[in-house]
Each structure stands twice: as C-alpha cells, then as structure tokens.
Amino acid sequence: MIYTVTFSPALDYVIDLDELRLGETNRSQKESYYFGGKGINVSTVLTNLGIENTALGFVSGFTGSALERGLKEAGLKTDFIHLEEGITRINIKLRMKQETEINTQGAAITESKLEALLGQLERLKEDDTLVISGNIPNTLPDNIYEIMLKRLGGRGIRFVVDATGMLLKNVLKYRPFLIKPNRSELEELTESKIQNDADLEVGAKKLQDLGARNVLVSLGGDGAYLLCENGKQFRVPAIREAVKNTVGAGDSMVAGFLAGYMRKKDYEYALKLGIAAGSATACSEGLAKREKIEEFFQKI
C-alpha cells in the first residue's frame, strides 16, 4: 500500500483576470477550484492510474469537510485526522499574464494530533510506501520528517521524499527509496552548478553517497534524469505541448514513477510513466487523468 502525508491540505481557488488593479473592484473572467496539497496531488494521480493508496493528513472546519468529501467523490481513499479549531486553507491563485499566488497558513496542528498521525504511521508494514512532501507548517517541529523516518526505519518501508534544502538533506541518512529535487534544488544541495548531463550525474551521485537510493531530478521543459540504486542512469526529454498549468506537475511525476515501479519494478519504465504523468498535468487544466497520461506515454 502507498500512503501519502499532507500536513496542510488546501482548497486552491483559481481566479482568471485580465489584470489586477490594486485598490479597485476587479471582476474575474472565470473561477475554478481544486483540492490541493502535494501529497493529495500524488494520491489523486495514483488513483487516476488505478494504484491503490491512502491519503493521510489533517483537515478542519467547513473547508476541510468539503475537501474530504470531494476527494472521496473523486475515488480517493482518505484517513484524515480532524483538527478541532481553524479551517483547512484556502489558497488564492490569480492568473493573468503572470500568475500570483497567496498561500495561507492553515489551522494549527497540536501535539496530540501529531501523535495521532504518528500512531497511524506505526501501522505501516514491510513493502509499504510512504510519500512525504512539501514544507512543514510552523506549528510542527522543524525535524518532523526526521522524527517520522527514524520511527519507521528498519521495517522495509519505502520512503519517498520530495522536499527542499536541509529538510531533504537531513533525511538522506534514512536511505529514502526516492527523492525528487529539481535542477536548482540539486545545485543548492550539492553546492555546484548543473550545466550538462555529466553535472547531473555528479550531483545525483553526491546525494546517493549521502544515502538516497534513487535520485530523480525534474528538469521542467527538459524532462528528467534518473540515477538508480543499481548504478544505471536514464535521461528522458519532456513532451513538447502547450503548457497550461505547472501546479502539481512535479507531484504527478512522483505518482507516475511510483505507479510504473509498482507495475513492473523497472526503473526505466517508471521514469517514462513519471515523465508522461508530469507532462500530462502540465498540459491539463488540473491534475492529469489516466487517458491523458497513457496518451503521453505513447509519445515518449
């Protein structure tokens, strides 16, 4: 079973405008909303690809109820912990010639509720996969990722970590099955410039030496690079189509990779399905559906 954790889910409210005039009344051209959060994005695409998984995390208030209900209606299996105060975040995304985002704080997670989540994770067993991703809310300990992986270490659980900076670097000692930095994050982590494929290999190898088993580097419009734990490496270009939306593309890549690995235990196949899922989301209004992902897979 695959489990994803989203500490602070959100309703992403997207507003299309011609322009934003500060201090005046602005009228939208179109509005839409999506159920957001990096772990939830991974769970959604996994579900779209027919891979069983459970989304864990915290919800609260009327927005949390709407999010939980909407995910279940979309076919997702969830096991959220309900916070007693506050509401699940509403993030505002203003789309014009440039996109502006307002990401809100969300409800506070108490120590007792955090312990409840850690108790859920204690039920994971050998061959399960745990996906943790994104930033940490300011009401949680800075080392919460380390706390989680330390408690679950040595049980044969696959850890997938999609995080930045020291948040990622500090958990490499727990030998995560997969990490997914982008080019700039890889440069920051290795303190080196990535200018070509040889630099990608050197940078990814540094993270392997620190403990990562498989290093998947997302390269945006240039596709992705994978350094496998068996020493093999693969480089796959992106699919060139008009980009409509970059939100969730990286999460979709993680989901596609995991779906491919679960199907065939083949890293090259997993990378190609990851690229297809990420590219399909980038070319969709929301997260990619199975048909779009399979269409894109055939183009690789």
List, by residue number, the catalytic residues: 251
**Chain position carrying tokens 């934003």:** 20
**Gap between the Cα atoms of 257 and 260, Å rounded:** 5
Token duo for residue 106: 């969300």
What does the buried/exposed string (b/e) look like for 226-248 if buried means 16 or more CB atoms within 10 Å of the residue's CB?
bbbeeeebbebebbeeeeebebb
Within 8 A by CB and 6+ apart from 169, the residues are 189, 210
Q: What is the CA radius of gyration of the chain?
A: 19
Cα distances (angstroms) measured from residue 274 to each of 162, 188, 292: 14, 23, 13
Cα distances (angstroms) measured from residue 80 to each of 68, 95, 107, 203, 300: 8, 30, 14, 37, 37
Residue 34, classed as helix, strand or coil, is: strand
